[in-house]
Structure 1
Amino acid sequence: MKAPRELTSHELKARLAQQGLLAAIAALNAAVPHRYTGVYRLRGDALHNVVLHDKQDEVRPQELAVVQLGDSFCQFVLRDGNFLVADSNQEARLDGHRFQGVVVSYHGVPVADNAGGLYGTLCHFDLIEHELPQGQFELLEAAGKMLFPYLRGLDGDTQPGA
């Protein structure tokens, strides 16, 4: 696996503007050791995967397409404003959770819409343990605040401000 590449929020914003959402998500993923970087849209009691970058370039596993809110780690992002777990096996907040030890590392932040509401989550995750350095967490937070205009319409939603 390649060593993560440095990325600043300014570079990410430029990548979004010049190359689009998929290139920006790939750049975010290249900056961390995690296998996956994804955006999930909250719809009712489920999270729908809108964008997923996989370092191994495999087809998205079906179980990642739609995840029930109660089964997801994203629920903690929505409740607490972020969720940072290097090793879910050691995380007491996940004791008894269906995916504890399956998704081992998870680092997620909210994605806001233009009206200040909640669109969903942006997260790095993997099946093995990974820390997320503070600088990369700050970049993830910044990305969560800049992605919405590039997400609109991707999941069939064309409502303004939705």
Structure 2
Amino acid sequence: MNERAATISNQKFEEAMERGGVYAALAFLNGRSPYRYTAIYRFEGEMVRNLYLFDRLGTVASDPSPVPMGDTFCQFVGAPGNFSTSNSLEDSRLDEHPKRDVLQSYFGLPLSRKPGTIFGSLCHFDALPQSIADDEIPFLESVTPELMKHLE
């Protein structure tokens, strides 16, 4: 993505955020990807809580109850940075993961308020194999600070 396109994309993201808050921002981000879902999860020790979830096929009820970190792909976000799998059934890193048959694709990146801490993750995921475009990753990284301003 060239610099002008990146600036326009950031402006459109900010307009979506101003117009409709975090859900509108997630809808905008989802529209740039092939994934069905885009979400924000908060890390709470050994647990993960869904804060926001956008489903391109329609709004789904999101359960705010925390789930064990080990039951999520979010567990891989943070220490080395981003985590991505385009097909969990073919990804040996996920051979023993309890959700590998449920979610086949995932891209997540850490959200943080300050260096060295992780608030949670911004992620795209789907029940079908999908992959994120390489030039989309820097864009997502560039909008996470704006998202963090709107999270509790």
What stretches of structure 2 of length at least 5 have no aligned partner?
Answer: 1-5
TM-score for the superposition, normalised by structure 1: 0.81
Identity %: 33
> Separation in 2 of the partners of 1:99 and 1:39?
18
Question: How many residues get paired?
Answer: 145
Residue 10 (structure 2) pairs with residue 9 (structure 1) = yes
CA deviation vs aligned residue, 1:44-84 (integer Å, no higher than 9, x gap): 2111000000011142364x853311111111112221101
Instruction: Quote how far apart the aligned CAs of 1:13 are.
Output: 2.5
Residue in 1 that maps onto 2:95: 95
Superposition map of 1:122-133 within 5 A: 122-133=122-133
Structure 1 residue 109, shift from structure 2 partner? 0.2
Q: Distance in 1 between matches of 2:126 and 2:66?
A: 17
Question: Which residue of 2 is the match for residue 41 of structure 1?
Answer: 42
Runs of 4+ in 1 over 3 A off after TM superposition: none
C-alpha RMSD of matched pairs (Å): 2.0
Tell me how far apart the structure 1 counterparts of residues 22 and 93 of structure 2 sit (CA, whole Å).
32
Structure 1 contact 41–119 (Cα < 8 Å) conserved:
yes
Deviations 1:76-121 (A, max 9, x none): 11222110111011111111111113110100000111x3331100
Alignment of 1:139 onto 2:139: yes
| Residue 148 of structure 2 is aligned to residue 148 of structure 1 | yes
Mapped to 1, the partners of 2:89 and 2:16 lie a distance apart of 35
Q: Is the 8 A contact 1:84 1:108 kept in 2?
A: yes
Which residue of 2 is the match for residue 85 of structure 1?
A: 85
Give runs of aligned pairs for residues 37-116 of structure 1, distance below 5 A.
37-60=38-61, 62=63, 65-113=65-113, 115-116=114-115
